[in-house]
Amino acid sequence: MTKNSHIDYASVDKDYLRHRQLKKGAAGWILLAGLGIAYVISGDFSGWNLGLAAGGWGGLLIAFVLMGIMYTCMVFGLAEMSSTLPTAGAGYGFARRAMGPLGGFATGMAVLIEYAVAPAAIATFIGGYIEALGLFGMTNSWPVYLVTYIVFIGIHMWGVGEALKLMFGITAIAIVALLVTVFGLIPHFEPGNLFDIVPDGSAGSSAFMPFGISGTLAALVFGIWFFLAVEGVPLAAEESQDPKRDMPKGIITAVIFLVFSGAAMLILVPGVAGAEAMSVSGSPLPEALREAYGQNSALANFVNYAGLAGLVASFFSIVYAYSRQLFALSRAGYLPRVLSLTGSRHTPWVALLVPGTIGFILAAVIRNGDQLINIAVFGATVSYVLLNLSHIVLRIKEPDLTRGYRTPGGIITTSIALVLAVVALIATFVVDILAAGITAGVFVLALAYFWFYSRHRLVASAPEEEFAILESEENALK
């Protein structure tokens, strides 16, 4: 065992990393942009509209603008860090280099909570869309959750190249559905429909913000749903063709698309069907089209079926993301090493199965997409605070580090994102203090596991650890 500061590195055999290899060169920047869009596109089809019940249309609009600024600023920082430290650990790797093992593990665990729970929320929305279509006579969606997990985890085990290409095709169908929705709703848009929720008389309430300031703060969680998980693009670094060039182009292209698609849904869907009606809808896009064209609308039926593609695309891609984050943390010894084993097709099969099982149980037991969103967003906002802090620390600590891309505005940009991330983290407790509190407890238990156990058993040869050790040795020579 070798020591480094307050951590210990365990000895591993020469075959350790050979059994933990991902497939190189599977994705160029276009596939990476598609991956970033796929992570999030389900947020355009369902989930965001629940924010209308929290903050009204004006409150959700403010939340969308603030979170859009946060994500855009953060993505510029991630583009820099992923072009500089291109490993499967992504956020964990960036924070590990900037803030040491504890900061790295905390960031990785926050991301893992987000990515393990988000597919469970999406599974409930898939069930809602299937029930809306009247398929299979479904009245209880847990079989849908089970089939969804089994099928799409199975495809990921088949191979990353095949999975990413299939994901790209599914995402293309979802984009077509969004375009059809936009052009179908524009002729029927009525601005007055945006403000049909009656103000509740709380502080700051009005027709624009019917639930006042507190409602707008609560809506931040749902503003995040328009963008949640786009930050996962760097997790594909070890499987990309040229991460220094492809990562910035891929993730920035994705967030630009998501800003425009989210704005279109936020304005047009309640602008046709009414904010109040959409605030409780399980399938808002098809319902808005039915309001415009009638209950038997072929356009609405098409978007309902194609909307499933959007939900599937996000589910499918976030499964990819959680497996890579768990793989990286396990490979480096922060979590049990068995979780990072890869099969003959270089896919992390254990890291696919374990969070998938947990996610299915959460979906089947909780069956509440609203609550699951808040759990996922809690993990996300913790990671956003740490990711933006990592960029700032790296810029100050290592100004001469060779960077493949530099964030416009430097640390000012990521400081804006940091402040907004802190506000969003507070908002998770406003929306559901029980869900946020329990998730915070799980996060603290994970940190205790690291502090008392795994920090004494890390693997120095893991890429993220090698990056950090190299930096430490270079500083010692100065």
How does pLDDT run across 193-221, given as a tens digit for each residue?
Answer: 999 999 998 998 999 999 999 999 999 99
Q: The tokens of 461 are what?
A: 């040869």
As a whole number of angstroms, the distance between CA 197 and CA 170 comes to 35
CA–CA gap between residue 22 and residue 328 (Å, rounded): 11
CA 5 to chain centre: 33
Query: Within a 13 Å sphere around the CA of 260, how many CA atoms are in the beta-carbon half?
Result: 10
The region of weakest confidence among 3-12, 133-142, 148-157 is 3-12
pLDDT at residue 76, rounded to an integer: 96
How much is the mean pLDDT over the chain?
Answer: 86
Query: Strand locations in 216-271, DSSP E?
Result: none
User: CA dist 411 to 30, 157, 247, 332, 334, Å?
Assistant: 28, 39, 19, 29, 29
pLDDT given at position 208: 96
For residue 266, give the nearest of 65, 61, 68, 424 by alpha carbon: 61
Between residues 243 and 350, the one the model is more confident about: 350
84-88, 110-114, 471-475: range with highest mean pLDDT: 110-114
Q: What is the pLDDT averaged over residues 147-176?
A: 81
* Mean pLDDT calculated for residue range 227-255: 84
Residue with the bigger pLDDT between 247 and 163: it is: 247
Distance CA 63, CA 55 (A): 9
Amino acid (1-letter code) at residue 455:
R
> pLDDT class for 469, splitting at 50, 70, 90?
low
Residue 398 has pLDDT above 70, yes or no: yes
The pLDDT value given to residue 207:
94
Comparing 115-129, 180-194, 202-216, the range with the smallest average pLDDT is: 115-129
The pLDDT score that the predictor gives to residue 33 is 87
What's the pLDDT band for 1 if we cut at 50, 70, 90? very low
Neighbours of 2 (CB within 10 A): 11
Q: What is the mean pLDDT of residues 245-259?
A: 92
Q: What is the pLDDT, as a whole number, of residue 140?
A: 64
Contact 77, 407 (CB under 8 A): yes
More reliable by pLDDT, 57 or 472: 57
What's the pLDDT tens digit per position in 66-96? 999 999 999 999 999 988 887 767 788 899 9
pLDDT of 4 strictly over 70: no
- For the chain, the residue count is 478
Q: Determine the average pLDDT of the residues in 252-262.
A: 95
Integer Cα distance of 439 and 387 in angstroms:
19
Provide the pLDDT confidence category of residue 242 given band limits of 50, 70 and 90. Answer: confident
Instruction: Give the confidence band of 357 by pLDDT, cuts at 50, 70, 90.
Output: very high
- Confidence category of residue 2, pLDDT binned at 50, 70, 90: very low
Q: Of 233-237, 322-326, 405-409, 451-455, which range is least confident?
A: 233-237
Band of the pLDDT at 367, cuts 50, 70, 90? confident
Q: What one-character DSSP code corresponds to residue 454?
A: G
Band of residue 293 on the pLDDT scale cut at 50, 70, 90: very high
C-alpha distances out from residue 321 to 160, 231, 306, Å? 11, 10, 23
Instruction: Enter the pTM of the model.
Output: 0.86
What integer is the mean pLDDT of 339-348?
79
414, HSE (Cβ side, Cα atoms, 13 Å): 26
pLDDT digits (tens, 9 = 90+) for 262-285: 999 999 999 999 999 999 988 899
Give the mean pLDDT of 372-380. Answer: 89
Q: What's the mean pLDDT in 18-28?
A: 57
Backbone angles phi, psi at 325, to 5 degrees: -70, -45
Distance, CA of 277 to CA of 298 (rounded, Å): 21
Identify the band that residue 368 occupies on the pLDDT scale cut at 50, 70 and 90: confident
Contact 327, 311 (CB under 8 A): no
The pLDDT score that the predictor gives to residue 138 is: 59
1-to-7, 471, 474 alpha-carbon distances in Å: 10, 20, 22
Say what the pLDDT of residue 42 is: 86
Task: Say which residue, 179 or 17, is predicted with more confidence.
Answer: 179
Pairwise CA distance, residues 468 & 464, whole Å? 7
